[in-house]
Chains A and B, each alone.
Chain A
């Protein structure tokens, strides 16, 4: 089992993802430069980390989608490889068409950095076979308001592609605890096949006891259990 963490100019959660995969979970992990063109067949899971690829110029993820590695990632996804995009990684997956929908400016226009609760809506993906149904995970973003038209929302619902939704600590989903105005309180979705996941919260920031929260680790553990 081998993980790859993609680095774009402006990625800033790459070290955290690498650290969690390699040192916390003990998985062999490589950094992958966005200009790499080699096939990704030696990897079991690709992590697209958070940050501000290309300074978020134009739109978050809009320039990163033209990086050479994106074609290899698309090929990897077609063959069923696991891909998790976190925060800016989620934005990149949407811009490059690996996931459907869009992330727009938070409803209150603020950059929001705080712990939120998310409910695991679909436990049958490689990423979400978690012990807990409600996870406390921090968010840190300005463009995290998920938006799509009604027909796509219906499709996401009927295919169980909505994996995580913002909720309170008891799992209740209300507008009050929807931090960024996301449609249907969506915090994370997967593709139809279920092998590509995008999520705004940062599981790599809460995967160690010393940080006071290990809920994020359950997502990485789910990936490992699936691959084992």
Chain B
């Protein structure tokens, strides 16, 4: 099993990187897009002997809050997927 964690900036937090990407898109005439927010994506493999989904969820929440994101500015979502 794998878990995919998506970390993104909370609403209202300035994202200069996203703005720079958006302005590049606009300079390439992709005017269909009006905003870009840049985040992080983690693909994490779960040890073979761990099968308990509840335990995995609990651990994923823990690492997402403690390590993968800074809760002051970032929020996260995750999905557990079978290989």
| Cα distance, A106 to B70, chains bound together (Å) | 17
Q: How far is the CA of A109 from the CA of B16 in the complex (A)?
A: 7
CA distance A145 to B13 in the complex (A): 11
A177 CB–B CB distance under 8 Å: no
Q: In the assembly, what is the distance between CA of A104 and CA of B73, in Å?
A: 9
Given A106-B16, A109-B17, A147-B14, A58–B68 Cβ distance below 8 Å? yes
Chain B residues with CB under 8 A of A149: 72
Partner among A58, A62, A95, A107 whose Cβ is within 8 Å of the Cβ of B16: A107
Interface digits, A145-171 against B, CB 8 Å rule (1 contact, 0 not)?
A: 101110000000000000000000000
Contact yes or no, A108 B73, CB < 8 A = no
Contact of A102 among B17, B20, B67, B73 (CB under 8 A): B73
Shortest CB distance B42–A (Å) = 10
Q: Is the CB of A148 within 8 A of B16?
A: no
A194 proximal to B (CB < 8 A)? no
Inter-chain contact A105/B67, CB cutoff 8 Å: no
Q: A75-117 interface mask toward B, CB cutoff 8 Å, 1 = contact, 0 = none?
A: 0000000000000000000010000011011111100000000
Q: How many angstroms between the C-alpha atoms of A109 and B67 in the bound complex?
A: 24
| Chain A positions near chain B (C-beta within 8 angstroms) | 58-59, 62, 66, 95, 101-102, 104-109, 145, 147-149, 181
Sort A-B residue pairs by CB-CB distance and give the 5 closest, nearest first.
A102-B72, A109-B16, A102-B73, A107-B16, A105-B16
Instruction: Taking A58-B67, A108-B16 as given, write out 6 further A-B residue pairs in contact, using a Cβ cutoff of 8 Å, ordered by the A residue number.
Output: A58-B68, A59-B70, A95-B70, A101-B72, A105-B16, A107-B14
